[in-house]
Structures are given as C-alpha cells and as structure tokens.
Amino acid sequence: MEQPESRDLTSISFNDFVSLVFNFAEQAKPDTPMSDFKIEIVDGTKLCGYYARLFQEPEFLLSRFTKQELEEGIDRAVRGTNGAM
C-alpha cells in the first residue's frame, strides 16, 4: 500500500496556501484523493495567521476561484479532511 503524499508547509506563502485550500486538485498529484493527502504543518502560528487573513479579507477569492472551488475549499478549511489543514 502506498504511503499518503506528504507536504511540508513550513515555508508556504499566503498565495500558495490559498491555492492549496481552494485549488487542491492542481496542488496534489493527479488522481490523489484528499483522503490520501497528508499535510504536515510545522509552523502553526503562520497557518493560523493565514486563516485569519483569509476569512477577514476574502473578497479576492471571488475573482480567483469558481463557486465550486470556493465551496469545497471552505468545507476543507472548516471541517478538515483526514487531519489535513
């Protein structure tokens, strides 16, 4: 059995973080279900700041992502999937 794809978010930029949340399909290897994608978070303070910024200043998301991408990303951000984010 293959190990889940792993990602270290220690030095992720805000822009890359937003892409990961709302455009997961392009961030993971093709055909990788979210349940097989393990995110290893090393800098929790930075990530919490990114979430705060994301939900305090969300206007830019409307021009960058589709409604479906926004719905799926918010679902992942709020509920989390397989411990991700």
pLDDT at residue number 27: 59
Q: What is the pTM of this model?
A: 0.68
- Residue 32 CA to residue 35 CA, distance in Å, equals 8
pLDDT at residue number 55: 85
Bridge partners, 8 (sequence order): 40
- Residue 17 CA to residue 8 CA, distance in Å, equals 11
**29 contacts 5 by C-beta, under 8 angstroms:** yes
6-60 tens-digit pLDDT:
667 778 899 988 988 888 756 555 555 555 556 666 688 888 899 899 889 899 9
**37 contacts 5 by C-beta, under 8 angstroms:** yes
> Two tokens at 67?
């409604």
